[in-house]
A and B are shown apart, each in its own frame.
Chain A
Amino acid sequence: METIYQAHINLSRFLSADGQALQALPSWTETPETLVRYYRNMVLARQLDNKIIALQRTGQMGTYASLLGAEAIEIVLGDLMQTSDVLVPYYRNHALQMLRGLSLADMLSYWGGDERGNAAPAMGEDFPNAVPIATQALHATGVATAIKIRGEKRAVVTVCGDGATSKGDFLEALNIAGVWQLPVIFMVNNNQWAISVPRALQCAAPTLAQKAIGAGIRGEQVDGNDVIALHQSISRALQHAREGKGPTLIEAISYRLSDHTTADDATRYRRHDELKSAWEREPIKRLQTFLHQQGWWDEEQESAWQTETRQMIQQGIDQYLQQSDQPVEQLIDFLYAELPDALKPQRERLIRNAQPGGNHHE
C-alpha cells in the first residue's frame, strides 16, 4: 500500500484571546488606520445588533438573526471587498452589507418585513439574503462563472454557517468552483451552532475547511475573532480570485453569542458555561485590548464613538419607522417583467380589497 494523497489544514491566528500578539504581525498593522477602522465598525455593528433586538422586542421589527459574535468576519470582509466584487450573502451579513453601501434604513426595512430592503440600488449586483440554507453558494458560482466568461478581475464572496456545509448545495458549489477554477470565496462562519445542533453533530470531520480538499480547492481555518488573521486570509483569497487563481474556502472559527434568531431561545439547548467561555474569546474586546496596548484607542475615543454610533443608528431607525407603506400592487407587479393577462383580474382584486371598504383595508 502506498500513500497517494496527503493534505493538511492550517489555522491562522495572530492575536490571542486576551489581545496579545502570538507571532510577528503583518506590516499593515504597524499603523493604526486599518485596525482602528475595524474596531470602530465592529462596535457600530454590535450596537446596531443590540438596538435591532430591542426594536424586535418592542414589536417594531420582525424576526431578526443577530450577528453577535460575527462582527470581525463581517467587518473585515466588508472592508476588503471592492465595490466591483459581488456579495452573495446569507441572512447574517447585514453589517457586511452596510459596509457595501446598504443604508441602515433599507437594511432595517428588510428585517421589518419589506422586500424593498432588497431593492436598494446601493446593493448593486449583490444578491439579496439567501434564507434557504446553502443555496447562495451555488448562486455565487454562477455569478463567478459569468465574471470568468467575461474575463473580469472581480471576486465573488458567499457566506454561510457551519450547518450549511452539510448541504449538497455547498458541496456541489465547491466542486464546480474547483473544476472551473472560479473566482469565488466561500466564507464559512463556523459559529458552532446551527440553531440547536452543535458543530460536533453537524459533521464528523475535524475541520469544515477540509471539505475543500475533496473539491480540489484551497481550504483553511482562521480565527474568526481575530481581525488580523481574517484580514490576511481574506486578502489572499480575494487576490487569488481576482487574479484568476481560483476559489478558496475559509472556515472562520467564531461563536454565536446570540440566539439563532429572536424567535429562538438558546438556553433550551446550550450550556451557560459554554457561552460564558465564548465571551472570553469574542472579537471586539480582543482588538480593544490590542489597540489600548498600542496606544491607538482610549476611553475618551471609546465614549465619543459610542455616542456617535448611537446617533447614527437612531437616525437610521427614525428613517425606517417613517417609511411609507408599499403600494399593494407590488405584491404582483414584480413577478414578471410584464404583467401577464392572466394576472390582471387578481391585481384588480388586490387593489380593490386594499381600498377603504375593501376586505383587506387596514
Chain B
Amino acid sequence: MSNTVTMVEAINLALKSEMRQDDSVIILGEDVGVNGGVFRATVDLKDEFGLKRVLDTPLAETMIAGLSVGMAAQGLKPVAEIQFMGFIFPTMEHLICHAARLRHRTRGRLHCPMVLRVPFGGGIHAPEHHSESTEALFAHIPGLRVVIPSSPARAYGLLLAAIRNPDPVVFMEPKRIYRLNAQTVEDTGKALPLDSCYTLREGSDITLISWGAMIKETLEAADQLAEQGVQCEVIDVVTLNPIDHETMLASVAKTGRCVIIHEAPKSCAVGAEISATLAERGLLNLRAPIQRVTGYDTVMPYYRMENHYLPNTADILEAVNSTLEFS
C-alpha cells in the first residue's frame, strides 16, 4: 500500500502498522484516544483497536511515565505520548531512575521496552512551554535511546524500530515539520536501523550535521551552496543516544570542515558532544575550526520573538562561508 503522507500521518501509519502485527503495543497519553491526539498523531487508532489498546489517561505526566515502566516490565510495549516537550519534565525521574536502568539493575531480569513520543521544537507560534528543544537532557542519560526523525519516511521506519527496540526510547517529533512536506511512504512494516546517522546528501567540501526540523534549513543551505559550487555533505544524526560518531568522523575526514546545526541552546548540547568527539578523534583531519549554529543560551521565547531565536538558512550560510574561508 502506497501513501503520500506528512510526518504526523507517517507516525500514525507506523503506530497502526505495529499495533496490527503486535498485540502488546498499547497507546496511552492525554487526549490520544477519543480525540486522536492534539496533533492527531493517534487519530482513528481507537476505532480500529478499541479503547482497551488506546488509553486516554488522566492528566498526569509523572503517572504516564511511571505507568509505562510498569507495563513495559510486564512485557507490554507502551507507546506513550507527552503532549509537548515543555510538559515532559515530570517524567524525568521515571526515565532516569527506572526506565533507563531497569535492565542494568536487574542484570536483564526485567527490561523496559517503552516509547515516549513527544513533539518538540519551535516555529509553530505555540503557547509558552510548548516549543523547547531539550534533547540533550535525555541524550545524557545512559540506558535511554533518543531518536529524532526529520522526514515522513524516516519517522515511519524509526518509530517502528523504536517500538520494536527492547529498551526505552524517547522519540522526539519535530512538530514544525509535522505537516511541512508530504512524501510517499510504503506501509511495508520495515523498520530503519537505530544507532546510525543518515547521510542525506553527499559532498566533499564541508560536512553539515543536524537533526530534526533544522534539517530543512540545512538542506536549503546545501542547495544554495551547490549553486555556488560548494558540495555539502549533510548528515542527519537521527539517534542522539547512542550516537554514531563513526559516520560523522568519516565524513569530516573527507571534507575537513564541519558545521553543526541545532535548535537547542548552544551550551552542553548534543552539538557540543559531536564537536568534542570530532576534535578528540579527528582533529588532524580538520582544516578549519568546527562551528555551531544553534539557539541561544536563553529561554525559548514565546512566539513573537521565536524567529529571532531559531537558527535560519542565513545563519547556516554565514557559518559555512566563514568555515570555508578559513585556510
Contacts and interface: CB of A to CB of B under 8 A. Distances in A.
Contacts of A343: 242
Contact of A143 (B62, B74, B142, B195): B74
B60 A88 contact: no
Given A128-B105, A146-B75, A176-B57, A336 B143 contact: yes
B62 A175 contact: no
Contacts of A342: 195, 242-245
Interface string B117-140: 000000000000000000000000
Q: Which of A144, A330, A340 has the most CB of B within 10 A?
A: A340
A131 to B, nearest CB: 8
A120 to B, nearest CB: 8
Interface string B70-98: 11111110100000000000100110011
Q: Which of B70, B73, B166 has the most CB of A within 10 A?
A: B70
B94 A135 contact: yes
A4 interface: no
A342 B75 CA distance: 27
Interface stretch (A111-119, A231-239, A265-273): A111-119
A179 interface: yes
Interface size bracket, A side: 35 or more
Contacts of B68: 142
Interface in B50-66: 52-53, 55, 57-58, 60, 62-63, 65-66
Interface stretch (B34-42, B108-116, B258-266): B108-116
Nearest to B168: A336
B167 interface: yes
Given A175-B58, A343-B242, A336 B107 contact: no
Q: Which of A116, A125, A172 has the most CB of B within 10 A?
A: A172
Interface in A13-69: none
A2 interface: no
A204 interface: no
B293 to A, nearest CB: 24
A142 B69 contact: yes
A176 B63 contact: yes
A334 B104 contact: yes
A336 B70 contact: no
B242 A142 contact: no
Nearest to A179: B58
A139 interface: yes
A145 B105 contact: no
Nearest to B145: A336
B63 A141 contact: yes
Interface string B279-304: 00000000000000000000000000
A176 B242 contact: no
Interface string A303-341: 000000000000000000000000000100011110011
A257 interface: no
Interface size bracket, B side: 35 or more
A142 B104 contact: no
Contacts of A144: 70
A142 B97 contact: no
Contacts of A330: 107
Given A149-B52, A336-B167, A342-B243, A138 B142 contact: no
A141 B70 contact: yes
Contacts of B245: 342
Contacts of A179: 58
B194 to A, nearest CB: 9
B66 to A, nearest CB: 3
A214 interface: no
A123 B73 contact: no
B106 interface: yes
- Tell me what chain A mostly uses at the interface: helix, strand, loop, or mixed: helix
Interface in B172-212: 195
B225 interface: no
Given A335-B142, A337-B166, A123 B74 contact: no
A132 interface: yes
Contacts of A138: 62-63, 65-67, 69-70, 94
A145 B71 contact: yes
Nearest to B114: A142
Nearest to A121: B109
A335 B109 CA distance: 12
B214 interface: no
B73 A125 contact: yes
Interface in A128-160: 128, 130-132, 135, 137-147, 149
Contacts of A91: none
B223 interface: no
B111 to A, nearest CB: 7
B242 A145 contact: no
A115 B106 contact: yes
B216 interface: no
A336 B103 contact: yes
A135 B166 contact: no
B244 to A, nearest CB: 7
A120 B195 CA distance: 31
A297 interface: no
A329 to B, nearest CB: 12
B66 A88 contact: no
Nearest to A145: B71
Nearest to B76: A146
A341 B242 contact: yes
Interface string A90-128: 000000000000000000000000011011110101011
A323 B175 CA distance: 52
B113 to A, nearest CB: 9
Contacts of A140: 70
Given A123-B109, A149-B76, A337 B70 contact: no
A125 B52 CA distance: 23
11 contacts: A125-B73, A128-B106, A140-B70, A141-B67, A142-B69, A146-B75, A149-B53, A176-B67, A179-B58, A336-B242, A341-B195
Closest 5 CB pairs of A and B: A142-B70, A138-B66, A340-B242, A146-B74, A119-B107
Given A145-B55, A169-B63, 17 more contacts: A118-B105, A135-B94, A138-B66, A138-B70, A138-B94, A139-B67, A141-B67, A145-B67, A146-B70, A172-B62, A176-B63, A334-B104, A335-B142, A336-B167, A337-B165, A341-B195, A341-B244
